[in-house]
Amino acid sequence: MVPDKIQLEGMVFYGFHGASPAEQEVGQRFVVDLEAHRDLRAAGLSDELEDTVSYSHLYKLVKEIVEGPSRKLLENVAETIAARILAGFPVDAVKVRVRKPEVPMKGSILSFAAVEIYRTR
């Protein structure tokens, strides 16, 4: 595993994901944390954008997925993000955490529900 990484923490989007029809109709906030693993030595030495991965491009991809068509499971949202990053960016691995802060569970008191996945090439 490459110890270097690009991190995007606390990206907040409004999406329509969830198992219940109400979640898919009304929507809610989702918070995404992302780590893209890649050797960053070349970029550190050259100071050139082409030697790294643009975090603005990573952000746009995550936004497109989370704000896109509804999905039933957070696992599917996270898996789609990871697969698209591995397919479209020169990274060795990616860790994706998708949090749902306002979990619609009767009688629940919790900060969030989340899934976190780690995928490699």
pLDDT tens digits, 73-119? 999 999 999 999 999 999 999 999 999 998 767 777 788 899 999 99
Residue 114 to residues 1, 9, 81, 92, 97, Cα–Cα distance (Å) = 24, 14, 15, 23, 7
pTM for this model (two decimals): 0.93
Say if CB 114 and CB 100 are below 8 A apart: yes
Task: Specify the CATH number for 5-120; select among 3.30.1130.10, 3.40.50.9100, 3.40.718.10, 2.60.40.10.
Answer: 3.30.1130.10
**Which uninterrupted H or E stretch holds 74?**
helix 74-88
Write down the domain spans for the chain.
Answer: 5-120
- Indicate the pLDDT class of residue 2, thresholds 50, 70 and 90: low
Average pLDDT, the chain: 94
Q: Which tokens in the block code for residue 44?
A: 């550190």
Residues annotated as catalytic are 100
E-assigned strand segments in 1-121: 5-15, 28-37, 93-100, 113-120
pLDDT value for 1: 58
DSSP state of 112: -
Nearest to 98 by CA among 7, 10, 4: 10
**Antiparallel, parallel or unpaired: β 28-37 and 113-120:** unpaired
